[in-house]
Structure 1
């Protein structure tokens, strides 16, 4: 829990404050004073009686009671200082700027644990250590500069990296983005990104709270908490974007299944963000571009008018929007011709709307009015207006500002000439406006926002399942891969359709099963992992003689201990898998099956449990979705049955969390059904 003294302290002490504003203790003290902190401000410095005009205490023991302490002293002195402040001075909030803790060595980790234990014992809050501090509307508790202009309508930034937080703020300030607060959590010894987000959710006030949250996350330690509070905030009307670094495949372990190989920790992060409704960004520039879009009114559709006086940037933006799933629709008709008549000869209104390098501010006003009032197939306007430096463009940017005040549709200003017209841009930003310097970055970011789904429902109806039977199978199973009979029992209890099949190591039993199941059949070895690679799969078995011949051949294949028979079904091969992650719980994946999963690796993942709508969303996001829909006369996969099977597997792994890895590969899908043909399930209790 975050103590009120961290958010709104009535008194602050800087331990290690100095006159040297090139050191953290000196800079943070200056920032507190320049930020007009309204409470009592104290300094502890063992060598001075006055620091930056403030009375200095030689020892923390001499201080009066104080709400919040900012420590800028060597790590080895921090535990004893925290002990005195917490136990004797009633201090409940601590910001430790100092480094030298668990990020450095085990000795530092011990100091960090000691500090946390002390602060926890008094119900206090700790930001850091190894951070740049905290910025709120009440105080500027950071040692960096410049300090952004704080505004309740600005963005809230929570960062696991102090330097990254500084760079994000610097980038945002240049574009006109204002900030409401910034929390640099550093080592997250007690409070991390998840806890700050939890506070923002639980203290959210629809009248006063910021509606935009930005996250920079290096490690997600509490995914359930992040999911709960991020999705809650978005349901309350907030918009959240995040960068999660450290997602490369370099650390992936060798896996014994397709799911294990594909379900990396980064796939889990992607699934978490998607489930929560968080827009995932790949870097600072994209994050701040998304933030800039968030600061504008929300587009109600996907149709954009591209307004420009320069052809090249308009073409690049149109490509970015079109390739990303948005539309730049053709504009035509009587109103379009009326607009064209107000522009110089050679202009075009077909969309992009090009009013030439000689276009005037007045003409831009005509264009924006027409897009707002006359063209029903337009949901927003992207205005690209730079300058070759021949003349000032104040009048153009003034028109933009005025039209943004009155337009019912959002207008996004893109200014590529950021240095040539820096004075005009500065004036535009001074009016509270946000602009975008790059049209392609803007287009890609807008598409990413458009594609990010709304948060999944917190509560939804789970499918009917035979929970008692599922638990019976799992409780009686040993660690490792389940037998075919156990797999069949689990799938049947979960309500997942499967092919008729049987397993035996006896020739006469196999022949009897073949007659009961009916021809044509598929025969597969039981034992080897990649059956087709060792000649362990035979299709179109149509008579008893072939059953006997192939049984005797396949039993000689290395690691084979039995043969499986299954009815041969027709359809498109699809895949469902599941894998348990220590932090994120179970990921459920789906995509095309068979060899396609190895070649294309086109899968989407979600976190269990999933609603049917979420499963449908995953399927629609597959690059191979057109194949599932049916192309060139090919029979489609029953998408509803596919989504139901994904949902049922997500419910199964919640009932049986001991399932470590699971592959249903392939399932055969046609217009009527989706049926599991082969499955592997590994239990780890």
Structure 2
């Protein structure tokens, strides 16, 4: 666990320090000295007596006690050095910059584990190895540049990659973003992104802690930990954005169910982030833009006023906002128009022309803040052709951002023509969005990311019956009667049905179920593709004839009969994703699931509110509501089926893939018509 020796050490030793500042051991020492670490700084090197003006200890055994050790020596020397420092120098925090551990070889992995075991034995903490280090407003223990402005109210940034951490800071700093802390976790031998986030949650102080967290993640090893602490921080008033790289797949995985084909590890990441309330982004510039949005007052509504003196950027911003679900509502105000130069427009975008003044801008902002109830926030686009200085505009913008109730987002694209004025604006603690489209997309993404999901309450299911079926079953697909038993135990409504293996049984079962009936093959995966589904069988003669035909279809072991029901075909399903647990999916059913691939997913356990939001987020939601006189689906019953399927998976984690497709839904409720369940013991 992270400790105070790492956060605010009284003393730091650089093991392997150097006078050569092109080497990690030299540069990390230089950064510590130049950024005025207030505690004691020690350095070791077997070949030097003095390094960068500091006494050098040739033998680490001669060092005084030290809180934090930064190792920049060959991997093979690290275990014994850590052992010495931990046992004899009371060192409880370690940053290992060196590479050559588990990322390189099996021998390196053994060295890494030896180090972790030693540090764990003294309840110490380790960052790395194979990282750039850690920095906060107490110390800059990194061997890289740039060193950003370090402010307790800035951004807490955790990165799985050192180089990417540098590049993200280089994207963020020119926009005016500052940082509270930066953690490069490298190999995450003891602590990864999840553990650092846990520390930020458990040590969070609403008065002094940063409320913005950025993550760069290459692998999520502990999704439960990430979900718990990210959602906890967001509920405390923080905002979190993350890049999860490695979202593509080099090849497709074969899956035998619709759900298996549609669910992937990356969709599990999506579901995890959505459940936690994390804004997911896909690149450095987008991450910086979202962080910049976070640094402004929260957007509480979707109506944006665009204030501009340049038409083109305003149009592009309007498109970016409108295409992502935000609104740029029409405005009419003769009173405001009378205050502006002839030719101005207040229709929204509010265009006060290239000759507009700071006074004009101030009038517009005041109207938007106090008189236009249909406006929730303002985006101010102000650049310059370079003819005059515009300090007065940026000074006024800063003043209005202090006093206005509504958020104001400055889009200042003239990063060359008014470079000095923008630097002045940033020096006031402000942030610039240099590109209006990147800003518009980022603002919409933040607004559209849901709050953390409330804890799910399990519906009543018959766990004893569920466990009896699963415990008795072998790995593979369950027989239809076992599927029926699980649906019944979970409380998921299903159609009456019979499984038959002879013509006589088929005719008898059809009569008992009541014509018309549906006949389906048991065995083949995709029944429709092999002619294994017959609808609207109205009499015994047809039932007899179709049984004879269908029983001879390849892989068929029996025929399933069900009453012919009517309604909209929908589906719900589940897939087990290693580490993440069960993904629960829903969408339109039947053949539409394959054609449209319009699905929504969440991680189990799923609450009723989450299930309802999944349904409402479908692109096909209007069909579920009912269109052109067609009867809609009972959404409460659909959501209940999703929640009960989730509860079934919680009771039976051995379920690896499951489809209920189709569910037939109408205004009265939903009924499971067909289901497949595969388990792995």
Q: Smaller-chain TM-score range?
A: over 0.9
Could you tell me how far apart the structure 2 residues matched to 1:270 and 1:276 are?
10
Report whether the alignment pairs 1:322 with 2:352.
no
Q: Deviations over 1:532-562 (max 9, x none)?
A: 1110000111111110000010001000010
Could you tell me how far apart the structure 2 residues matched to 1:625 and 1:112 are?
52
| Alignment check: 8 A CA contact 1:593 1:666 kept | yes
Q: What is aligned with 2:463?
A: 467
| Alignment check: 8 A CA contact 1:275 1:607 kept | yes
Could you tell me how far apart the structure 1 residues matched to 2:355 and 2:666 are?
59
5 Å-filtered alignment, 1:294-309, equals: 294-309=294-309
Report whether the alignment pairs 1:589 with 2:588.
no
Report whether the alignment pairs 1:357 with 2:354.
yes
Q: What is aligned with 1:7?
A: 7
Q: What is aligned with 1:499?
A: 495
Could you tell me how far apart the structure 2 residues matched to 1:252 and 1:365 are?
56
After TM superposition, where is structure 1 displaced by more than 3 Å over at least 4 residues in a row? none
Q: Deviations over 1:221-269 (max 9, x none)?
A: 0000000000000111111010000011325421111111111100110
The SS at the match of 1:243 is: strand
TM-score by length of structure 2 reads: 0.99
Q: What is aligned with 1:412?
A: 409
Q: 1:250 to 1:635 in 2, by over 3 A?
A: farther
Q: Deviations over 1:138-196 (max 9, x none)?
A: 11101111211111110100000111111111111100011000000011011000000
Q: What is aligned with 1:486?
A: 482
The SS at the match of 2:296 is: coil
Report whether the alignment pairs 1:403 with 2:415.
no
Q: What is aligned with 1:81?
A: 81
Could you tell me how far apart the structure 2 residues matched to 1:583 and 1:454 are?
23
Match of 2:427 among 430, 442, 446: 430
Q: What is aligned with 1:566?
A: 562
The SS at the match of 1:173 is: helix
Q: What is aligned with 1:278?
A: 278
Q: What is aligned with 1:293?
A: 293
Report whether the alignment pairs 1:30 with 2:27.
no
Residue range with higher mean Cα deviation, 74-83 or 625-634:
625-634
Q: For residue 4 of structure 1, report the CA deviation from its aligned partner.
A: 2.1
| Alignment check: 8 A CA contact 1:554 1:563 kept | yes
Q: Deviations over 1:294-349 (max 9, x none)?
A: 000111111100111111111111111111111111112xxx11000111111110
The SS at the match of 2:366 is: helix
5 Å-filtered alignment, 1:226-375, equals: 226-332=226-332, 336-375=333-372
Q: What is aligned with 2:643?
A: 647
| Alignment check: 8 A CA contact 2:67 2:93 kept | yes
The SS at the match of 1:249 is: coil
Q: What is aligned with 1:46?
A: 46
TM-score by length of structure 1 reads: 0.98
5 Å-filtered alignment, 1:594-613, equals: 594-613=590-609
Q: For residue 406 of structure 1, report the CA deviation from its aligned partner.
A: 0.6
| Alignment check: 8 A CA contact 1:249 1:264 kept | no
Q: Deviations over 1:266-298 (max 9, x none)?
A: 011000000000000111111110100000011
Could you tell me how far apart the structure 1 residues matched to 2:434 and 2:591 are?
44
Q: For residue 632 of structure 1, report the CA deviation from its aligned partner.
A: 2.3
Residue range with higher mean Cα deviation, 564-573 or 231-240:
564-573
Could you tell me how far apart the structure 2 residues matched to 1:448 and 1:642 are?
28
Could you tell me how far apart the structure 2 residues matched to 1:620 and 1:189 are?
42
| Alignment check: 8 A CA contact 2:466 2:486 kept | yes
| Alignment check: 8 A CA contact 1:252 1:264 kept | no
Q: Unpaired runs of 5+ in structure 2?
A: none
Could you tell me how far apart the structure 1 residues matched to 2:639 and 2:439 are?
33
The SS at the match of 1:207 is: coil
5 Å-filtered alignment, 1:70-219, equals: 70-219=70-219
Could you tell me how far apart the structure 1 residues matched to 2:280 and 2:234 are?
14
Report whether the alignment pairs 1:442 with 2:439.
yes
Could you tell me how far apart the structure 1 residues matched to 2:660 and 2:417 are?
59
The SS at the match of 2:250 is: helix
Could you tell me how far apart the structure 2 residues matched to 1:68 and 1:563 are?
71
The SS at the match of 1:20 is: coil
| Alignment check: 8 A CA contact 2:155 2:181 kept | yes
Could you tell me how far apart the structure 1 residues matched to 2:185 and 2:431 are?
27
| Alignment check: 8 A CA contact 2:299 2:447 kept | no
Report whether the alignment pairs 1:517 with 2:518.
no
Q: For residue 577 of structure 1, report the CA deviation from its aligned partner.
A: 1.0
The SS at the match of 1:390 is: coil
Could you tell me how far apart the structure 1 residues matched to 2:249 and 2:666 are?
34
Could you tell me how far apart the structure 1 residues matched to 2:673 and 2:342 are?
66
Count residues with an aligned counterpart: 681
| Alignment check: 8 A CA contact 2:18 2:51 kept | yes
